[in-house]
A and B are shown apart, each in its own frame.
Chain A
């Protein structure tokens, strides 16, 4: 398929997944704010930091409260990572690849965009955002489901899935890292890594919320039972079967990559296979206690993971999307 088209399909799916993940994170923050164990100011501040647009936010808003943060993350057209911007961009990408995706898939993307656009115009959702956030999540899942059911599982579909899963792995890692922003640095410094002192009420509530934001609570319970920081991190990083766990995302993303290239696991023929394969195998052989026991801790691990994932994404760009320089033969003077 055309390189430009593959690029658009890949990004379209990242953008839809991103919108869903922003919605999830905002919902979790609303839950935690109701719960009251962590002050709302810290929560909304953490949300802005988690989604990496801090400087942009503070340049335009004086206060990280519910109204400002939701307005910024959900509807702000100038924030390229807001839900509205992501769905706008996804639809624009869908238009450029309209010939590659099925009509039902296009219609769902179009509807999602129209819904968010009219919600943004009405502006009433900031005070009562639940229904809106649910609708965004539902739309993303519907688009994914319709794509699975109506698109041939060929090259375009694999680019789509690879985009979605790489985005999801990144966002799950960010949600896991949220404690880094909840806790003042002084508290983090005095806390023993992975020890029993973690298991305060506040911590349990916080990690339950992290699970909730990934719709992971039920699946987690089946594996680990009681909620603890160690087990939640273990589950969301290493689980091979839960579809929002980082490991799962990389296994499936690599499957799609290999389906596209025709390559095989365990060796590589291009930088994309090398980077993604290396990252996936790190998770294959990693262990949660090593991560929590290390000097850099969970935050350090996640930082490293995100850097490697970005490198993998750049390698995918270089391998498939970058327009090859053209030889001079056949060029007229």
Chain B
């Protein structure tokens, strides 16, 4: 196909520079795409779509009829990251997670960072995800945020920024693995002769981490994945991970706490559980400790956790570092605990809880992207430059009513990646979610999940709102 017809349209493109020369790492991919015959791309795309349907790789959309499963759209043109740049990203993520873990441990224990005036106390204590009951807790091996899915974006300036820290129950890693498998099966010739970092060992790394953080008395720890059930949007991933690790996938009703010890109900009676990779929010974990209307939790779980008889991943309370207002302070948090500058910068962020910053945001509301501090899935975000007058006024009213709950950032011009449209390629905006495991050491899965806004011109990459995904390659120099 003729790649010269492709247009970057003034955006930063991940595969090509302005003169349509392939960027470092993308040379072989570009030449293979250029060599593809007419109609081949569309045909490979169809094969990939069919494969996803047969494999039943789906997600559920909330707000639709229960059980509405959708195939998550996948685009067969991979996103390429040069190994040199990746090593910088990897170091930056390790630094960030290291500092955030120290921060979480601090705010639930000595609160030095608050006393020293680096992060204001009102910010921490008013956090929707701050969990009072977690004060004084010391999770096994001192790790709180075992699994993180940090969102990165590249702006029009070509710089990679951290957009948000997802430290609660980040999802998407199963698609990283499945996307790679689908790519290998439907477009194998793209891989030939290249050194691409493998992603397939993630489940083993995950299991090793989960076993590492088990309570010390558990010699041969039993690990389970706790899911809210098949109607949860990420159920596919929950079952995928359990299957890949060879551990049980349990629901709240499968677990029971007796004598502050957690058991699962099996066909042979009760069996002790040592580590729970829970994909349920803090709020719903234990109706006795948090929300008492939770139908998916396990009564008594927090008591067992507090007694040191079970490890929870991520630790309850970790969400405080996931707060988008706390995010604004992460560069200071890194400097405070590690004495280093952040390797990957934040997107400039205004915290509406700070009166002067709030005034600035309100005076130029139409220029900002406004986000609620504790939502996920892209819900509640207002894109100032694209909002109607009513939407802006509604947004203004909501900020004024609860300034603590909002932050504002400049509208970023997200980078793009060529994406299959019919039988040709057009640029579509992307972000990147690498996955980080914190066990005996910090491990960053090479690449991560590239989400793509499939709608022309759209900046919204969320699966619930018309986004899709791409395979993500960390490509090393030199032919294999």
Contact = CB atoms under 8 A, between A and B. Distances in A.
Interface of A: 1-6, 92, 95-96, 98-99, 103, 106-107, 110-111, 114, 155, 260, 320, 323-324, 326-327, 329-332
Nearest to B289: A332
B248 interface: yes
Nearest to B259: A330
B184 to A, nearest CB: 15
Contacts of B303: 332
A95 B230 CA distance: 7
A107 B55 contact: yes
A99 B55 contact: no
Nearest to B51: A107
B259 A98 contact: no
Contact of A3 (B53, B67, B265): B265
Nearest to A6: B267
Contacts of A99: 225, 239, 242-243, 247-249
A107 B57 CA distance: 10
A107 B230 CA distance: 17
Given A3-B254, A110-B55, A111-B54, 12 more contacts: A2-B265, A4-B253, A5-B248, A95-B235, A95-B239, A98-B243, A99-B242, A99-B243, A99-B248, A155-B267, A331-B300, A332-B288
Nearest to B53: A114
A330 B261 contact: yes
Contact of A2 (B67, B258, B266, B300): B266
13 contacts: A2-B265, A3-B265, A3-B267, A4-B253, A5-B249, A6-B267, A99-B225, A99-B242, A107-B55, A114-B54, A320-B267, A324-B265, A330-B257
A330 B56 contact: no
Interface of B: 53-56, 67, 225, 229-230, 235-236, 239-240, 242-243, 247-251, 253-254, 256-261, 264-267, 269, 288, 299-300, 303
Given A95-B230, A99-B239, A99-B243, A331 B299 contact: yes
Contacts, number: 77
Contacts of A95: 56, 230, 235, 239
Contacts of A2: 248, 250, 254, 264-267
Nearest to B58: A95
Contacts of B253: 4, 323
A327 B225 CA distance: 24
A99 B299 CA distance: 25
B242 A4 contact: no
Given A330-B300, A332-B300, A96 B54 contact: no
A99 B241 CA distance: 8
Contact of A329 (B55, B56, B258): B258
Contacts of A106: 56
A324 B270 CA distance: 9
B285 to A, nearest CB: 14
Contact of A330 (B247, B254, B260): B260
Q: Most B CB atoms within 10 A — which of A96, A98, A107?
A: A98
A107 B266 contact: no
Given A1-B266, A331-B299, A96 B230 contact: yes
Contacts of B56: 95, 106-107, 110
Contact of B267 (A1, A110, A331): A1
A231 to B, nearest CB: 40
Given A99-B239, A323-B265, A330 B258 contact: yes
A90 to B, nearest CB: 13
